[in-house]
Amino acid sequence: MDISVIVPLFNEEESLPELTAWIDRVMKANNFIYELIMVDDGSKDRSWEIVKSLRGQYPAIQGIKFNRNYGKSAALNRGFAAAHGEVVITMDADLQDSPDEIPGLYRKIVEEGFDLVSGWKEKRYDPISKTIPSKFFNYVTRKLSGIQLNDFNCGLKAYRLEVVKSVQVYGEMHRYIPVLAKWAGFSNIGEQVVQHRARKYGETKFGLERFVHGFLDLLSVTFVSRFKKKPMHFFGVFGTLSFMMGFFTTLYLIFNKIYCLYQHMPVREIVDQPLFYIALVAVVIGMQLFLAGFISELLVMKNDHSNDYLVADVIENEVTTEGPVEG
Ligand code: UDP
Ligand code: MG
């Protein structure tokens, strides 16, 4: 199979027939063998009936329906698990992404050797309340992840099959799949300018809360991927620094006091000095951070998945299946 197209959908009944017909047209024109995996994320409208009825006409359709709305990430994750195609393409159901981009994306993966190619809606047809915050997001994500993409959250992306089998998309991590892919070891990430269109039917499923959630997810995706296996490297450094600062300040206060007493100089009570309280807090915070790091480290050790490294290649002896030769 050449291509698996994964379409997460939530209340998109009006768009589905048009989308399906268009994808099928593009696939036939390019002689691609494909499957179209529709993941119905608990739609309340007639989307699922429409998927089922379309299957009669387009046997390439595979359907998965959630019993409730789990979110776009869950839908993609489930679609990834079901995919078989050499190249996996994800695409929104709302006709904002154009199926005409599929052959170009496919070629970039197969011929140019990219692991992941993300669409870039260079010219966007979305309200300004969405485009401006999105610029900021993309900038921060670029800085934190080191991946040079202009449009991380573009729904239209293409992947090599092993990439989608190696990333776990959960929560609202669908915005950061390129970051997850990079951390899984697939760093050949490309970008392709794609056409974008205004939403034709229905309305957007993500409101303003997308920015709050997006920001928190960005923190966890960068933090977790960097320190998941070694939490002590984060907490330990700050904890030790803070503890040292407090410790040496306290030493200074004590020696200062002794020295002044000895020289018969006027000196304030230690508890009268602001520095004392700062040192005290620094020592306590330092211990806390150190303990947090230590406890996380123990958790990581206990965790069964902590050694789930992805194996890129294995060299092993050839096993002969032939029995003893008679004669
Ligand atoms: N979607 C989904 N589950 C959700 C929300 C959205 O499967 O909980 C799908 C939706 O049907 C669409 C895609 O995700 O196919 C992108 O959603 P939308 O167009 O609302 O997002 P926007 O384009 O406004 O970022
Ligand atoms: Mg949309």
DSSP string across 176-194? GHHHHHHHTT---EEEEE-
308 within domain boundaries: no
Domain match, 54 and 186 both: yes
Pocket of ligand 1 (CB under 6 A): 8-10, 12, 41, 69, 71-72, 75, 92-94, 96, 155, 204-206
Domain span at 247: 231-302
- Please report the pLDDT score of residue 306 as a whole number: 44
Which residues are within 8 A (CB) of 138 and not within 5 positions of it... i.e. 6 or more apart?
Answer: 149, 150, 151, 152, 153
Domain match, 218 and 243 both: no
H-helix or E-strand containing 24?
helix 16-29
- Please report the pLDDT score of residue 173 as a whole number: 85
Which of 149 and 267 is assigned the larger pLDDT?
A: 149
111 within domain boundaries: yes
Q: Has residue 270 got a pLDDT over 90?
A: no
- Please report the pLDDT score of residue 226 as a whole number: 77
Ligand 1 atom 16, closest CA: 92
What is the CB-side half-sphere exposure of residue 182 using CA atoms within 13 A? 22
Q: Has residue 23 got a pLDDT over 90?
A: yes
Q: Which of 56-70, 212-226, 299-313 has the lowest mean pLDDT?
A: 299-313
Q: Has residue 309 got a pLDDT over 60?
A: no
Q: Has residue 326 got a pLDDT over 50?
A: no
List, as ranges, residues with CB under 5 A of the ion ligand 2: 92, 94, 96
Q: How far apart (Å, rounded) are the C-alpha atoms in residues 41 and 18?
A: 19
Q: In ligand 1, which atom is closest to the CA atom of 205?
A: 20
- Please report the pLDDT score of residue 316 as a whole number: 60
Which residues are within 8 A (CB) of 296 and not within 5 positions of it... i.e. 6 or more apart?
Answer: 231, 232, 235
Cβ atoms of 45 and 71 within 8 Å: the answer is no
Domain match, 262 and 129 both: no
316 within domain boundaries: no
- Please report the pLDDT score of residue 100 as a whole number: 97
232-245: average pLDDT: 92
For residue range 107-162, list pLDDT tens digits in order: 999 999 999 999 999 988 888 888 888 898 899 999 888 999 999 999 999 999 99
Domain boundary residue among 227, 244, 266? Answer: 227
213 within domain boundaries: yes
Which of 159 and 208 is assigned the larger pLDDT?
A: 159
**Ligand 1 site-directed mutation target among 20, 92, 121, 194, most atoms within 8 Å of CB:** 92
Return the CATH number at 175: 3.90.550.10
234-254: average pLDDT: 94
Q: How far apart (Å, rounded) are the C-alpha atoms in residues 41 and 69?
A: 5
190-213: average pLDDT: 88
Average pLDDT, the chain: 89
Cβ atoms of 285 and 321 within 8 Å: the answer is no
Q: Has residue 6 got a pLDDT over 90?
A: yes
- Please report the pLDDT score of residue 216 as a whole number: 82
For residue range 37-59, list pLDDT tens digits in order: 999 999 999 999 999 999 999 99
- Please report the pLDDT score of residue 320 as a whole number: 46
Domain match, 85 and 114 both: yes
Q: Separation of 38 CA from ligand 1 center, angstroms?
A: 13
Q: In ligand 1, which atom is closest to the CA atom of 204?
A: 20
- Please report the pLDDT score of residue 109 as a whole number: 97
Counting the structural domains of the chain, the total is 2
307-321: average pLDDT: 53
**Ligand 1 site-directed mutation target among 205, 209, 210, most atoms within 8 Å of CB:** 205
Adjacent-strand bridge partners of 35: 4
Domain match, 241 and 296 both: yes
Domain boundary residue among 227, 258, 289? Answer: 227
